[in-house]
Structure 1
């Protein structure tokens, strides 16, 4: 093990060098976004030689995809827990899912904005996910469970409801992303209570 590589692992976390590199890239993304993020900058911050990265990742895109995934998990760790099916009221639970989705999208927007023109990184990000772990999957799972419990109509089109909620969250952050620099967003944030009311009109038993 080279002296630089050994020094990079003396952080008391017990992480492998691969984990250290992902954590370093994730921290840099959280602090400054992805624009202009280079292998050299990541290696320097991690305390290793540039070429070390290629001993642990197929390419820069794999490292960035994994770092983006770690960043999403970090943002989610700071959000409120999502409600369990069958607890509380449907209104409260849908409101919690929508506010969670809005906070998540706003939290990851700066990082994702820099990847709009990098489909290869976004493909690696998508491939690094675990089925069922993304918020959209959990939202759909929640709605299906409520339908199974009889708290939603037997024929409730929960897939369409989930798509509507995710679309509202996307729209809320895209207005910020595409607003001219220094100007307010083109549209206000969504009326969560009104959205909940519309959704329940269509899916509640």
Structure 2
């Protein structure tokens, strides 16, 4: 337990990681401010010192993980011409699907205050699925320029289909569906990417 009054480095990330562990291990019902701070080894009230409550905390966790996934998607640019197009896209989709435990996603969409805070963050420009879709489309266009996918491929539509499917899998998934999600993405990429 961190001593009272001592600044905790990277507190926000520490609390987020603790919440993910609690949700993954014990489910959405176990995700309380007390369980999160206990898992993080912090004082009981520290979450409420930095967030207006559990709903704001959950929304901020979701927004943070979406922003991290958007940064990972932007890194596709450096992969142009390397590995296969499908492998590069599978890496990004896999990272997005692993970005949040399904229990946290469930809380973010079923708790009205958390859902409202998440929507407000997205409306104010927090990166999420639209940023990921744009990064995927830009990557596919770059792969077109180097001749790894046909010039007449519709990069924007491929990106929309891939990111839309990923969004669906993330929002409706469960820990047991990881293998099914991976297989679904592989089938989708096989259908979308011209050979």
Shared fold (TM-score greater than 0.5)? yes
Q: Does 1:169 align with 2:157?
A: no
Query: Where in structure 2 are the equivalents of 1:168-187 lying within 5 Å?
Result: 168-170=165-167, 172=169, 177=174
Per residue, is there more helix in 1 or in 2? 2
Q: Post-superposition shift, 1:48?
A: 1.7
Q: Does 1:117 align with 2:110?
A: yes
Q: Return the structure number with greater relative CO, CA threshold 8 A, min gap 6.
A: 2
> How far does the alpha carbon of each residue in 1:3-51 deviate from its partner, in whole angstroms, 9 at most, with x for none?
9533673xxxx33x5554444434434543433422233344443243x
What residue in structure 1 maps to residue 36 of structure 2? 42
What residue in structure 2 maps to residue 63 of structure 1? 57
Cα–Cα, structure 1 residues 156 and 175, in superposed 2: closer, same or farther, change >3 Å?
Answer: same
What residue in structure 2 maps to residue 96 of structure 1? 88
- What secondary structure does 1:115 align onto? helix
Q: Which runs of 5+ in 1 are unaligned?
A: none
Q: Which runs of 5+ in 2 are unaligned?
A: none
Query: Where in structure 2 are the equivalents of 1:129-140 lying within 5 Å?
Result: 129-130=126-127, 135-140=132-137
Cα–Cα, structure 1 residues 118 and 130, in superposed 2: closer, same or farther, change >3 Å?
Answer: same
CA distance in 2, matches of 1:143, 1:166: 13
Instruction: Decide whether the 8 Å contact of 2:79 with 2:88 is kept in 1.
Output: no
TM-score by length of 1: 0.59
**Structure 1 residue corresponding to 2:100, chosen from 108, 122, 129:** 108
Instruction: Decide whether the 8 Å contact of 1:66 with 1:125 is kept in 2.
Output: yes
> How far does the alpha carbon of each residue in 1:101-130 deviate from its partner, in whole angstroms, 9 at most, with x for none?
146325635232343312542454462744
TM-score by length of 2: 0.61
Cα–Cα, structure 1 residues 115 and 35, in superposed 2: closer, same or farther, change >3 Å?
Answer: farther
Structure of larger gyration radius: 1
